[in-house]
Chain A
Amino acid sequence: QQQVKQSPQSLIVQKGGISIINCAYENTAFDYFPWYQQFPGKGPALLIAIRPDVSEKKEGRFTISFNKSAKQFSLHIMDSQPGDSATYFCAASKHGGSQGNLIFGKGTKLSVKP
């Protein structure tokens, strides 16, 4: 059972454009939603995260939008740059206790064309 569904699988965006990646979750107990960025040959790096008490969080060019009623959250990358080309993973977890591990989406491979 895939608890976090991520789309699209791949995305091509022109330099300066907006990249949008979407995720949907099933478990309403999830209360932590991070996004990770992974370059080839590297481990995932924490990009930005949100908790369900806010609907949006912005850090530089990266914004998470969160819709609790729809059980969806998305990553927006403004002014996309070729250096943003990487695989992005959304994740969810329920913090506290023995079920606090991250559940990951399948990933989105982003290519930003110059």
Chain B
Amino acid sequence: KAGVTQTPRYLIKTRGQQVTLSCSPISGHRSVSWYQQTPGQGLQFLFEYFSETQRNKGNFPGRFSGRQFSNSRSEMNVSTLELGDSALYLCASSLDWGGATEAFFGQGTRLTVV
């Protein structure tokens, strides 16, 4: 059974640009959550999608957005990139939403903003 797949693995962007990251959950999983990991702040929750609807949102500015497609694949978008957005962005998939089932993480996308 394939795990959570995130693409691309690495990205370098310039301040002010926007970026789109992709996540394909484990087959049969319908919930996708996104987390940002930095050395200073650790792992912080961005948002969760289930059945194409955002079910939960963390404390991040509106520049961070996401969506989920009918096949459960999810994308997150960051607009007007700032240097502080440099981080490892992790996607986690679950069978159900709201923490009801175990979450499995992908390898992440390493975003560097220069």
Residues of A within 8 A of B (CB): 32, 34, 36, 41-46, 49, 89, 91, 93-107
In chain B, residues 41-100, which have Cβ atoms closer than 8 Å to a Cβ of chain A? 42-45, 48, 55-56, 58, 90, 92, 97-100
Name the residue of chain A whose CB is nearest to the CB of B9. A41
Name the residue of chain B whose CB is nearest to the CB of A45. B105
Name the residue of chain B whose CB is nearest to the CB of A89. B43
Chain B interface residue number, banded: 20 to 34
Name the residue of chain A whose CB is nearest to the CB of B88. A43
On chain A, the residues within 8 Å of B105 by CB distance are 36, 43-46
Assembled-state Cα–Cα distance A106/B38 (Å): 10
Name the residue of chain B whose CB is nearest to the CB of A105. B42
On chain A, the residues within 8 Å of B4 by CB distance are 43
Name the residue of chain B whose CB is nearest to the CB of A94. B99
Assembled-state Cα–Cα distance A106/B58 (Å): 17
Known: A100-B98, A101-B33, A105-B42. A43 touches B48 (CB 8 A): no
On chain A, the residues within 8 Å of B45 by CB distance are 101-103
